[in-house]
Chain A
């Protein structure tokens, strides 16, 4: 009995450090923005102010619920320490929603700062990651009126952007894998309304993709090129595409909820050809033209046109990636590695030189569904509609 008691009581006192910390002695960091200023890093953090968050005390409404603390340091950790010195509560990184990196730092390389975000236990690898146009700390100070915190908005935006959200973990994966370069969302502060309409609020949006080569950002992709990138990376959630009407005038908008893209490599010596096949299923969501694709032939024509657009855009994107940025963002190297490991062993050392010469054969399979829906433009009288 005594032995049992001793055995049972021992583990309580023999098992490590005591780290009791009341929740109200903790400053929760909701997001971090890292910029480079000269040779130093500027770390800016958004810290939650619980008493402004409106618990049950009824003090809510006054403040924003958060404030920003920004300090310079030789490393990210050192600048965080500076922040801690300014704070009566222990800063806690475990609930960081997003990590934002300024484009200046991104262009110099993100490897030096990645260590601190993975080493300590408090850091969550699921934090979303993004690059900004201009300085990153500006993102922290936006209004983001619909969410509690701007960093929460960043998180939600990124989560809705791709199928598998771009987090610290996925960026690290891309950084550490052979034959694929990371791609990060590109954030920008945006006014909610034009100033002539009223007092604008500062809001956030994803304007494009930051293309990395290794750990350095080499450029950006914007507009329709982002859509085609997302489709080819097989990360499509809800892509909308518009094409001009084949007859008559105006545009038609299509929504693609379901798509499947794949690359298959064929290799002859140093000649690498990637066969790209994409199947997209979508439906018409807006007909702002006077064209009415009410029968099979019209639908096939639209499918054809959409396929052509995908082909054209992808060729354009590949041209930029291969010849301008030299970034293997679509992970051709990794695909070869997976499909033909022996060939990859032969090519991997020279992949940098081979990549720009990789040929891509594009095959598209666009299917428009829900034919039963009203396809005719609704607002036009019958005579003005052009039938195919």
Chain B
């Protein structure tokens, strides 16, 4: 085997091959003989029906081959910018010199490079490049013609707002980074590239604003990302679970969002974002519990409304966690806590129910969760049937049959509504999960059980960190400045500083003196 060609066997691109058991073919250099190269190529991509080979002749009748994967490249571009110039160039220039570097002389495509090993070629082809091999050279010419049909920018499905931008991320990484760049037009916005997944080769971008992000944290995240060795990353959830601080906590330690404006806002407060190719959900970290209770619209509506809505949300979170447990505790232990008429109504409603309250409540809550799950998974066309069945079966019919009491239906519905007021779905799920321990403890120990469970959760929350930052940051440890945006939101002209904790230096976000009372010019 001749060892001609440039730097042999060196994997020089940024796309690091991760931990493959180094089959020799990856490191083998290209041959000068085109036929042998094609043979190797067909061996590597055996049974890959989506790979396209196109034989052409370039200058001086040299045989050449173009190959790419169909569907992920921009086919029209290949035709117009590669095939035509190469073929026409050959026809017009029949006695010309051999082609040394087509990317400089013939092909008008933006991104072009060369490769000499099979490993680089493979990486290039699966990353939507077209590779040109020419008889007599041990060099492959690589042209990036990324394309293919993917979803365009649409309104986010999971985070809709009344007021605020309606654009959402898509499955295309570069479109997503562009959407962030549209919001933050500064070179300080950095986008560091990673490729994770031995088979998926998923592009991942770590984005942050230089000068705002904590450098220590950045190093930490970079290390955690680099340490990931996995065959595939199909969704940002993989990354989240692989890099979070406390994998055994029910509480989400990263926020995910479909909204570029949310990402931009968090980046401006010193957070970092992880954009994963192939999913519209961008991860944001570090995150505190309070951030997960904030909706983007809190900052777009006037602050009276925002505060009202935010306080309402906090109130309903408490309902979502405590209400079923409280009901069970009061009805099985503390009958003297309720007004007489109320307790008698409950007693009357429960008279025909054959189960203890705890069993009744668990039944109903599980049924509700099942209904919710079915509603998400079912095809939209049968969705209506589910809601009708659910309303009838776990609502009216169960009450009329005397299996479930009417107050319990009210409690379950109210809890369900309450859990939907939490703006972040991952926190909402955690809250929904947590109410089961509350219910069971309330059923066994009454109010005392609720208090104990609450203390447990509080202890856990106090220990919890997100990328080294306390989960309850702002309240515990208490930062006075952060109170402007935890339970309430102060008007924008009062929030001069960025939240303490995430950003230490450079934490001023606006000039003082812009207050809410500009005076109209005189003469009106």
Contacts and interface: CB of A to CB of B under 8 A. Distances in A.
Given A94-B335, A95-B336, A24 B347 contact: yes
Tell which of A30, A50, A59 has the most Cβ of chain B within 10 Å. A50
A55 B351 contact: yes
Contact of A53 (B335, B344, B452): B344
B349 A21 contact: no
Contact of A23 (B331, B340, B399): B331
Given A28-B347, A95-B336, A51 B352 contact: yes
B218 interface: no
A51 B405 CA distance: 13
Nearest to A60: B348
A122 B336 contact: yes
B405 A20 contact: no
Interface in A26-78: 26, 28, 30, 48, 50-51, 53-59
A95 B335 contact: yes
Contact of B335 (A23, A51, A58, A59): A23
B445 interface: yes
B72 interface: no
B352 A148 contact: no
A124 B337 CA distance: 11
B98 to A, nearest CB: 70
Interface string A7-34: 0100110010011111110101010000
B227 to A, nearest CB: 24
Interface in B328-371: 331-333, 335-336, 340-341, 343-353, 356-357
Nearest to B463: A4
A22 B405 CA distance: 14
B348 A12 contact: no
B18 to A, nearest CB: 34
Given A50-B347, A55-B345, A8 B406 contact: no
Nearest to A52: B348
Contact of A11 (B340, B353, B400, B452): B452
Contacts of B346: 23
A48 B356 CA distance: 20
A97 interface: yes
A92 interface: yes
B435 to A, nearest CB: 18
A55 B405 contact: yes
Contact of A94 (B332, B336, B402, B448): B336
B493 interface: no
B336 A53 contact: no
Interface in B416-467: 444-446, 448-449, 452, 455-456, 459
Interface in B122-141: none
A11 B455 CA distance: 11
Contacts of A53: 344-345, 347-348
Contacts of A15: 448
Given A4-B459, A56-B399, A20 B444 contact: yes
B341 to A, nearest CB: 7
Contacts of A58: 400
A23 B345 contact: no
User: What is the predominant secondary structure among interface residues of chain B facing chain A?
Assistant: helix
Given A8-B459, A12-B452, A51 B348 contact: yes
Contact of B352 (A20, A48, A55): A55
- Chain A interface main SS type: loop
Contacts of A95: 335-336, 340, 343-344
B449 A57 contact: no
Contacts of B349: 55-56
How big is chain B's contact interface, by range? 20 to 34
A50 B402 CA distance: 14
B333 A55 contact: no
B340 A55 contact: no
A28 B346 CA distance: 12
A8 B340 contact: no
Q: How large is the interface on A (under 10, 10 to 19, 20 to 34, 35 or more residues)?
A: 20 to 34
A56 B444 CA distance: 27
A311 to B, nearest CB: 43
A358 B400 CA distance: 69
Given A23-B357, A94-B336, A12 B449 contact: yes
Contacts of A59: 352
Contacts of A20: 332-333, 444, 446
Contacts of B350: 23-24, 50, 55
B324 to A, nearest CB: 15
A94 B339 CA distance: 10
B348 A30 contact: no
A28 B333 contact: no
Contacts of A55: 345, 347-352, 405-406
A167 B209 CA distance: 68
Nearest to A155: B340
A48 to B, nearest CB: 6
B348 A54 contact: yes
Contacts of A94: 335-336
Contacts of B352: 51, 55-57, 59
A252 B383 CA distance: 71
A88 to B, nearest CB: 14
A23 B341 contact: no
Contacts of A48: 344, 347
A54 B351 CA distance: 10
B60 to A, nearest CB: 74
Contacts of B446: 19-20
Contacts of A12: 445, 449, 452
Interface in A156-201: none
B340 A57 contact: no
Nearest to B353: A24
Nearest to A92: B335
Contacts of A18: 445
A20 B441 CA distance: 12
B501 to A, nearest CB: 25
Contact of B405 (A19, A56, A122): A56
A267 to B, nearest CB: 47
20 contacts: A8-B452, A8-B455, A18-B445, A20-B332, A21-B333, A22-B357, A23-B335, A28-B335, A28-B347, A30-B340, A50-B347, A50-B351, A53-B344, A54-B348, A55-B350, A56-B406, A57-B402, A59-B352, A92-B336, A95-B340
Interface of A: 4, 8, 11-12, 15, 18-24, 26, 28, 30, 48, 50-51, 53-59, 92, 94-95, 97, 122, 124, 148, 152
Given A28-B335, A51-B351, A57-B352, 16 more contacts: A8-B459, A18-B445, A21-B333, A22-B357, A23-B331, A23-B335, A23-B350, A26-B335, A50-B348, A55-B345, A55-B406, A95-B335, A95-B343, A97-B340, A122-B336, A148-B341
Interface of B: 331-333, 335-336, 340-341, 343-353, 356-357, 399-400, 402, 405-406, 444-446, 448-449, 452, 455-456, 459
CB-CB nearest 10 A-B residue pairs? A94-B336, A55-B348, A55-B349, A53-B348, A95-B340, A50-B347, A56-B406, A50-B348, A51-B351, A57-B352
